[in-house]
Amino acid sequence: MIYLDYTANTPADPEVLDAYLAAERRYIANPNSTHIAGQEARAEMERVTQSIAQRLGVQPAEIIYTSGASEANNLALKGIAHASRHIGKHIISTQLEHSSVGASLSALQQQGYEIDLLDIGRDGRVDLDQLRELMRDDTILVAVCAVDSELGTIQPIREIAGIVKPYPGCRLHVDATQAVGKTDLWLDGVDTMSFTAHKFYGPNGIGALYKRRGLVIEPQISGGASTTIYRSGTPTLGLAVSLDAALTKALAGQDARNARVQRLHDRLLAGLQQYSLVRVNSPAHAVPHIVNVSVTGVKGTRFQQALSEQGVCVSVKSACSSDGLPSKAVFAVSRDRRNALSSWRISISHLTTDAEIDGFLQAFDTCYKTLTNKEN
């Protein structure tokens, strides 16, 4: 099997799993318990939170653990919208967002919030002029992903933060799920930022929301004490330890990992560009980990299935929105509905080998010839 779907999920790093197991074996108590075992667990929780905060250049009190980025996005969007309703009900987001952002926005719309979605340019980036025009005194939230999961486009968060800054009632939420360990994170002017361990070689089931100190948001899970007042539930110490271990490795190894991925990306692209019906949809300003392509005239789902039969795992749209509709992101960069329906995504990792790229190109060649009746 050749796995090229690292944008959907990465395998947990063995060292990260060891750290998880060690913590789960060592700390048996609830970190909220006041006895000695609970205090030990709490001390470890505090150490780990301090470490995560340090990696990100923020304060420990600014980290809220969640089950992943979907929950973190829900908490940020609904939490900010509900806490800011006395200021206004206008929210701006983009066409590129993950379904956890899209569905949260729909839920807020049902509650009377007004949502505007920014257009995406041919370069895959949000339209900054449109953002400037849409900003109002009653705009309470701008929500943008730092890197989108379909094309891998890197969004201009610094510029967006600059546009939002003059509006004191408006908060900026950044979904950094696909950015951590791939691009540098911009936090100046950012109020909340979501991320999740399973995108950077940590386990599933743990993510976090960075929430700027002093910002009040409405909790979405009510109950007893946790590490913060913003999300109830017994803190999962082993998972927090793994988040820290995975984040530490991802950030420390970012440059070396990216250099390797860039080399593999260039080989992959050179191979694909030999075929006359291949269209590369990922724009120039994208992370090298994601290559979105279309084979003209062949539905993306069909090509993905054919590759799967050859033992190669790629995906159509994102794992959370394989709904058979044309990709909005690909439509935005190509303005071509049929091209959007033909698109699919290859995502590579520093773990990908040259032999896997060769194997993929061989399988691609077979599928291409079968599905297009063309040699190249």
Cα gap 174→144, rounded to integer Å: 5
> Which residue ranges make up the site for ligand PLP (CB under 6 A)?
68-70, 73, 98, 100, 145, 149, 175, 177-178, 196, 198, 207, 318, 320
- Other Cβ atoms within 10 Å of 360 Cβ, number: 24
Find the shortest distance in angstroms from Cβ 302 to ligand PLP. 23
Cα gap 72→66, rounded to integer Å: 6
194 versus 372: smaller Cβ distance to ligand PLP: 194
Q: Which residues are catalytic?
A: 320
Pairing verdict, β 63-66 and 207-211:
antiparallel
Q: Scanning the structure block, which residue is given the tokens 């470890």?
A: 44
Find the shortest distance in angstroms from Cβ 197 to ligand PLP. 8
Helices (H) and strands (E) in the chain, counts: 12, 12
Q: Where are the alpha helices (DSSP H) in the chain?
A: 14-26, 36-56, 69-83, 99-110, 128-134, 157-164, 237-252, 254-272, 300-309, 328-334, 337-342, 354-372
Name 163's Cβ contacts closer than 8 Å, sequence gap at least 6.
128, 131, 132, 135
89 versus 98: smaller Cβ distance to ligand PLP: 98
The string of DSSP codes covering 340-361 is HHHEEEEE--TT--HHHHHHHH
Chain-centroid distance of CA 167 in Å reads: 26
206 versus 295: smaller Cβ distance to ligand PLP: 206
- Other Cβ atoms within 10 Å of 57 Cβ, number: 9
- Buried (b) or exposed (e) across 290-309, using 16+ Cβ within 10 A? bbbbbbeebbbeebbebbee
Provide the token pair at 231. 């999300």
Say if residues 134 and 107 touch (Cβ distance below 8 Å).
no
98 versus 328: smaller Cβ distance to ligand PLP: 98
89 versus 198: smaller Cβ distance to ligand PLP: 198
Residue nearest to ligand PLP (CB): 68
Find the shortest distance in angstroms from Cβ 315 to ligand PLP. 10
Find the shortest distance in angstroms from Cβ 207 to ligand PLP. 5
Find the shortest distance in angstroms from Cβ 256 to ligand PLP. 23
Q: How far apart are the first and last CA of the chain?
A: 24
Provide the token pair at 313. 């795992």
221 versus 277: smaller Cβ distance to ligand PLP: 221
347 versus 352: smaller Cβ distance to ligand PLP: 347
